[in-house]
């Protein structure tokens, strides 16, 4: 940050909060772009590329230790062209060079540090380096001197290594297209693999560090419905229960942190990401529908409410992340001493709070502080304390609001306030799920407001932009297009406003035009080559479903809602494109395998024909009460019929035979229409 001594570098003109954090470094940073590349070529210098994001703890450490260090800055400015990238703005560059570093070193992460030839080919890299040698870690100073020396003495050796790296990297993005569509067996195999890596004691998958992995949980929920598999429900219940009780969740403000550093979900890494919270809120809401247990609904609501209260821009649209660090250090904003509770709440209430949140004098975190956990449900706690559950809930509300007020007095962690199209798509879809599961209109309103914001401010001149901050910039990538199409279809299916279907068709068609691979099927992530080397094409589902997964899901849904079979062909070709990858590593592609399950199983379409949307509400309420993946719903009424006919063939030849006429079609065959709620309920069961 500014220390008054340095004049700002070129990053001062950027909009990314992460790049602006480096604007007063003595390092002569360039943003990724023409100017930096030209300088590297003209002066024949290697590029020092540093990639991170604003809420990343070790990125802050490296910025303070190394990039504010005069000696390091001098080495960088003399022998290199230093370039800074925000991975959330340019996921394409991040993905490509992350693969390179993992290939070279066996591991990756952020901050990502890579040395490139002037023509952008990677030849050496790593993640975090301390400024001077420390413990077993080499210092950045000696690495910079070593690379500069090698570049002066033997550039040919570097160029050859870089060429080898690049040809290896290209092979990661090429897929052998299969002649046949992968079978449904893959769905069962993926379930078996998840079952073996499941932690039956604490929930989640694998050991520490432990990530929430909503993509796995969503797959298991879909599987549990398709296969009537109670083991899949149990796995999700155990995981959601433990995550929601441990330190992974913010028990005062709502929302989930990034991941747990241990197996038991106690000590989190304290950043909060929009995408994690969107995907988790959706999974919790779905689980409420699957189990009928209101606990999951409450957690889902507190997560969505946190998003709306803390992360939503006044005009609509959600910010990206909340930093892990605040002025007092990582996690300081969220942790408590027992003495603080006594001071804020008084002795009586503090005693109850300590019991609810398991707060002790010695603490469960550093320096006698406590990460709040809620290891028991309120009903069990009430019994232990000998009070009514309603009384305890009232006390809990009072405790929460007093502690939140006190917490707001602390220096708060920074919020990354850029609006990312893909992540906002996920948030809108989560809000629609929340609305269907709870009937709470505030979720529908927030979904519509955000969708309208994206359409007006980020879908401009037939181009979707990835980022909005003081205006839209950076053309969207595959996941931006696909997540926004999914969100539009979700909003359409709760509002039945034809314009959302119309825009979904436009953005989907543009997505196919920009990213579809006409030769081998599947979607590229980018419109052009990344780093002038290769186009990325990938289907790995990690913390977020991959672009190909989101695109396949969107087009499967679009074909159901419009009756257009051409969209289904893209879905099938995508499966063929990635067939060998899916078969080799099903668990790494559970998102795409979820869509594959929907492709193979029979999908249901419900069309309700009525005079006014109001009349259809009891029918919708019945539909919303259960979690039924791959079911599409359209309500045709006097207000939308005319425009709807332009975008979907489902409206044609479905006359009204009563106040509400329900048409139910499954597996390309339709049942006789019914005109009463009783018949409708019977028909669906």
pLDDT above 80 (res 680) = yes
Handedness of CA 280, 197, 545, 543 (dihedral sign): positive
pLDDT above 60 (res 452) = yes
H-helix segments, 496-546 = 498-515
Length of the chain: 685
C-alpha–C-alpha distance, residues 346 and 336, integer Å: 15
pLDDT above 60 (res 472) = yes
Which class for 499: exposed (0-12), middle (13-18), buried (19 or more C-beta within 10 A)? middle
How confident is the model over 205-212, as a mean pLDDT?
93
pLDDT above 80 (res 408) = yes
CB 371 within 8 A of CB 334: yes
Handedness of CA 395, 283, 526, 451 (dihedral sign): negative
CATH numbers and ranges of domains, the chain: 10-172 (3.40.30.10), 185-327+415-600 (1.50.10.10), 334-408 (1.10.10), 604-684 (3.40.30.10)
Q: Going by C-beta distance under 8 Å and a sequence separation of 6 or more, which residues neighbour residue 301? A: 434, 438, 440
From 326, 337, 327, select the one nearest 367 (Cα to Cα).
Answer: 337
pLDDT above 50 (res 2) = no
Handedness of CA 289, 292, 293, 297 (dihedral sign): positive
Q: What is the DSSP string of 470-507?
A: SSEEEE--HHHHHHHHHHHHHHHHHH--HHHHHHHHHH
Binned at pLDDT 50, 70 and 90, residue 5 comes out as low
Structure tokens at 535: 């186009």
State the virtual CA torsion across 232, 236, 238, 241 in degrees, nearest 10: -160
Cα 388 to chain centroid, rounded: 39
CB 205 within 8 A of CB 195: no
**What's the pTM value of the predicted model, to 2 decimals?**
0.94
How confident is the model over 308-324, as a mean pLDDT?
96
From 356, 339, 435, select the one nearest 399 (Cα to Cα).
Answer: 356
Element (H, E) at 524: none
% residues pLDDT > 70 (the chain): 99
pLDDT of residue 428: 98
C-alpha–C-alpha distance, residues 212 and 280, integer Å: 8
How confident is the model over 589-608, as a mean pLDDT?
96
Q: What is the DSSP string of 135-149?
A: TTBPPHHHHHHHHHH
Q: Going by C-beta distance under 8 Å and a sequence separation of 6 or more, which residues neighbour residue 156? A: none
Rg (CA), the chain: 26
CB 507 within 8 A of CB 484: yes
C-alpha–C-alpha distance, residues 103 and 114, integer Å: 12
C-alpha–C-alpha distance, residues 130 and 127, integer Å: 10
How confident is the model over 407-432, as a mean pLDDT?
97
pLDDT above 80 (res 1) = no
Can you give 616-642 as a three-state secondary structure string?
A: HHHHHHHHHCCCCCCEEEEEECCCCHH
């Amino acid at each position: 940050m500014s220390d008054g001594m340095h004049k700002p570098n070129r990053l001062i003109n950027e909009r990314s909060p992460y790049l602006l954090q480096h604007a007063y470094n003595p390092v002569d940073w360039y943003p990724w772009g023409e100017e930096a590349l030209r300088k590297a070529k003209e002066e024949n210098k290697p590029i020092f590329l540093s990639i991170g994001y604003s809420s990343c703890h070790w990125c802050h450490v490296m910025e303070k230790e190394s990039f504010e260090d005069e000696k390091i800055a001098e080495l960088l400015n003399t022998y290199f062209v230093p370039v800074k990238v925000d991975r959330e703005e340019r996921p394409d560059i991040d993905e490509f060079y992350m693969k390179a570093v993992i290939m070279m070193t066996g591991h990756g992460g952020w901050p990502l540090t890579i040395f490139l030839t002037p023509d952008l080919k990677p030849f050496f890299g790593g993640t975090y380096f301390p400024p001077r040698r420390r413990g077993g870690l080499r210092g950045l100073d000696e690495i910079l001197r070593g690379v500069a020396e090698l570049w002066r003495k033997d550039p040919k050796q570097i160029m050859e290594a870089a060429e080898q790296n690049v040809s290896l990297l290209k092979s990661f993005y090429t897929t052998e297209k299969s002649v046949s569509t992968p079978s449904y067996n893959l769905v069962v195999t993926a379930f078996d693999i998840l079952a073996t890596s499941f932690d039956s004691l604490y929930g989640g998958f694998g050991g520490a560090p432990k990530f929430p992995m909503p993509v796995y949980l969503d797959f298991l929920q879909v599987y549990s419905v398709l296969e009537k598999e109670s083991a899949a429900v149990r796995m999700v219940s155990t995981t959601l229960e433990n995550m929601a009780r441990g330190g992974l969740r913010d028990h005062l403000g709502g929302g989930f942190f990034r991941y747990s550093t241990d197996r038991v979900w106690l000590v989190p890494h304290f950043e909060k990401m929009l995408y994690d919270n969107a995907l988790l809120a959706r999974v919790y809401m779905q689980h409420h529908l699957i189990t009928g247990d209101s606990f999951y609904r409450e957690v889902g609501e507190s997560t969505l409410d946190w998003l709306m209260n803390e992360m939503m821009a006044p005009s609509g649209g959600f910010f990206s992340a909340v930093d892990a660090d605040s002025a007092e250090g990582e996690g300081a904003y969220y942790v408590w001493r027992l003495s603080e509770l006594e001071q804020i709440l008084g002795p009586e209430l503090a005693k109850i709070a300590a019991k609810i949140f398991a707060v002790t004098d010695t603490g469960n975190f550093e320096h006698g502080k406590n990460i709040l956990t809620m290891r028991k449900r309120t009903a069990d706690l009430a019994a232990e304390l000998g009070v009514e559950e309603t009384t305890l809930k009232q006390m809990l509300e009072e405790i929460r609001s007093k502690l939140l007020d006190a917490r707001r007095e602390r220096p708060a962690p920074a919020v990354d306030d850029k609006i990312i199209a893909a992540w906002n798509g996920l948030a809108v879809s989560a809000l629609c799920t929340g609305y269907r599961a709870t009937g709470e209109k505030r979720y529908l309103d927030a979904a519509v407001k955000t969708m309208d914001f994206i359409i007006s401010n980020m879908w401009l001149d037939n181009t979707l932009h990835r980022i909005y901050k003081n205006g839209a910039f950076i053309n969207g990538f595959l996941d931006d297009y696909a997540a926004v199409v999914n969100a539009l279809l979700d909003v359409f299916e709760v509002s039945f406003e034809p314009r959302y279907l119309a825009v979904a068709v436009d953005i989907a068609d543009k997505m196919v035009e920009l990213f579809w691979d006409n030769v081998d099927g599947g979607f590229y992530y980018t419109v052009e080559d990344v780093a002038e080397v290769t186009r990325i094409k990938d289907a790995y589902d990690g913390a977020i479903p991959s672009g190909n997964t989101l695109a396949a899901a969107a087009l499967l849904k679009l074909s159901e809602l419009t009756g257009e079979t051409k969209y289904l062909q893209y879905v099938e070709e995508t499966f063929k494109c990635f067939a060998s990858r899916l078969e080799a590593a099903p668990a790494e592609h559970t998102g795409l395998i979820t869509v594959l399950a929907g492709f193979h199983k029979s999908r249901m379409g419900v069309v309700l024909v009525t005079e006014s949307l109001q009349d259809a509400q009891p029918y919708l309420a019945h539909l919303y009460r259960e979690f039924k993946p791959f079911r599409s719903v359209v309500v045709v009424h006097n207000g939308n019929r005319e425009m709807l006919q332009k975008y979907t063939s489902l409206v044609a030849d479905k006359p009204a035979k009563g106040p509400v006429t329900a048409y139910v079609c499954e597996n390309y065959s339709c049942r006789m229409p019914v005109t009463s709620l009783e018949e409708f309920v019977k028909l669906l069961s």
